[in-house]
Amino acid sequence: MAGSSLTESSGAPVGVLALQGDFREHIAVLKSLGADAVGVRRPAELAAVSGLIIPGGESSVMDKLSRLFDLAEPLKKAIADGLPTWGTCAGLIMLADTILDGIEGQQSLGGLDIAVRRNAFGSQLDSFETELAIPVLGETAVHAVFIRAPIVETTSSTVTTLAALSDGRVVAVEQDNLLGTSFHPEMTGDTRFHEYFLEKVAGR
């Protein structure tokens, strides 16, 4: 199991940024896989983890809270130093180098050489579910839940596309130590993306 190999290889917990959003759901999935998972709200907690998930929520609020809690700069440094980090939905926005339609003053942590568009599918009423082919996770399609989801508008040559919608719009990417998904794997009971992330953490 991916969680077991993580525990054996590092001994350090996996963190989930717990400023806002659905961090509890990610922690529950990680623990179900045997990983030691903790919420991260302070720089000292960030320094103690072997990987980090930035959950879905409200990206502009996460941005403000990360700066209020003096976490923004430590997060940027940890990402730049190679900490395995996965952003889902709002977390993807936080990891993007460019936000095309952020609110005034909104900042991202950066790291992923992509441009994203917030709420690309409209309001929460325009949320939807679909099946995605994600070869790195196996032949079986992934059931993906999109809630006020961002879209990846552009990627550089250093970014690998892991999944796209039938119309070609990119919804999952990978670049070195970073993963980003527009959708919410923590909501479906399919743990393959979490296992894939734990393998990245264990392989660091």
Residue 51, pLDDT above cutoff 90: yes
Measured between alpha carbons, how far is residue 72 from residues 57, 180, 187 in Å?
17, 18, 27
Question: Among 89, 174, 194, 195, which one carries the catalytic annotation?
Answer: 89
How confident is the model over 112-135, as a mean pLDDT?
A: 85
Confidence class for position 1, pLDDT limits 50, 70, 90: very low
Question: Among 26, 174, 184, 194, which one carries the catalytic annotation?
Answer: 184
Confidence class for position 125, pLDDT limits 50, 70, 90: low
Q: Which of helix, strand or coil describes residue 10?
A: coil
First to last CA, the chain: 17
For residue range 11-45, list pLDDT tens digits in order. 789 999 999 999 999 999 999 999 999 999 999 99
Provide the CB-side half-sphere exposure for 36 (13 A, CA): 13
Q: Note if 194 is an active site residue.
A: no
Question: Among 174, 186, 194, 195, which one carries the catalytic annotation?
Answer: 186
1 or 78, which is more confident? 78
Fold of 2-202: Rossmann fold (3.40.50)
Q: Which of helix, strand or coil describes residue 21?
A: coil
> Which residue ranges make up each domain of the chain?
2-202
Q: Note if 195 is an active site residue.
A: no
Query: What is the CB neighbour count within 10 angstroms for residue 48?
Result: 13
Q: Note if 186 is an active site residue.
A: yes
Supply angle C-alpha 104, 110, 113, rounded to 5.
Answer: 110
Residue 2, pLDDT above cutoff 70: no
pLDDT of residue 10: 53
pTM beyond cutoff 0.85:
yes
Strands 85-88 and 51-54 come out as parallel
Q: Which two tokens stand for residue 137?
A: 């996770």
For residue range 66-123, list pLDDT tens digits in order. 999 999 999 999 999 999 999 999 999 999 999 998 888 899 999 999 999 987 876 6
C-beta separation of 88 from 59 below 8 A: no
